[in-house]
Amino acid sequence: MNILGTGSEKTSRTGKYTGLGSIVLAVVFLVALVLAANNNTVVGWVIAVIAFAWLALSTLVYIGVHKAARFGADQVRKAQAQFAQASGNATDGAGTRLVSDDAAAAERDKVRDMKLDHSFKIIGVQIGVINEYAGKDQGMVDRALETIEITAHNGRGMIDPNFEARERRASAGQAPAATSAGDDGDEPVSGVVLD
């Protein structure tokens, strides 16, 4: 199924009016040139030069847009061909397919690991600040300890978004309850979908 239609259909519909602006500018240029040559006036020649500049600019724009449109159409055709090929391969097995999101999970894990690494680096720097200013500047030590506390809190939130609720329940003396998937430490359910 081709949504955009073939290139020949599109060209035949829009080809009539594509260069209309350039044609009008060319006619204006020729008229201005003839009038300027006949009257030999400065104003006529100025109009001819301005009309020529606009004609040249519109020609360059027309060529650029035409090349970009052709490139875009080629890219759409390639994408449609790849999609058709992928769809052709997918229809070999009938029924519902389970699409693995292992790649997406791996990417999420990679981003989370980079954030955690950054958090550990921040904590390491703040430990150096504490060692340097201990006994000298209590304000710097307090700010470093606050930064460590915030960074540790954010890091725990990256590992387990529900850790605050679990801590509140534990401090209230309640038994931990699983309120959402993954809240009790188990892995999410995965498997094969059968029709």
pLDDT one-digit tens code per residue, 16-52: 566 677 777 778 777 777 777 777 777 777 777 887 8
Q: Look up the domain containing 33 and give its range.
A: 7-85
90 assigned to some structural domain:
no
Place of tokens 């509140």: 168
DSSP letter assigned to residue 181? T
Q: How far apart are CA 136 and CA 166, in angstroms?
A: 38
Q: How far apart (Å, rounded) are the C-alpha atoms in residues 157 and 100? A: 26
Tell me the pLDDT tens digit for each residue of 123-181.
Answer: 888 899 889 888 898 998 899 899 988 888 888 887 777 777 777 777 777 655 544 44
Using DSSP, how many helices (H) and how many strands (E) does the chain show? 6, 0
Per-residue pLDDT tens over the stretch 56-82: 887 888 888 889 999 999 999 998 888
Question: Does residue 96 sit within a domain?
Answer: no
Question: Does the residue 53 lie in any domain?
Answer: yes
Task: Kindly state whether residue 176 falls inside one of the protein's structural domains.
Answer: no
Residues found in the chain = 195
Q: How many structural domains compose the chain?
A: 2
Please state, in angstroms and rounded to a whole number, the distance separating the CA atoms of residues 152 and 116: 9
pTM exceeds 0.85: no
Residue 189 lies in a domain: no
**Apex CA 144: angle with CA 143 and CA 149, to 5°?**
95
Residues 80 and 129 in one domain: no
Domain contains 186: no
Both tokens of 193, joined, read 């979908």
State the helix-helix crossing angle for 138-159 and 102-133, rounded to 10 degrees: 170
Asked whether residue 113 carries a pLDDT value surpassing 60, the answer given is yes
- Quick check: is 181 in a domain? no
Is residue 185, in this structure, part of any structural domain at all? Answer: no
d(CA 195, CA 193): 7
Contact 62, 23 (CB under 8 A): no
Same domain, 75 and 11: yes
95 sits in which H/E element: none
Mean pLDDT of the chain: 74
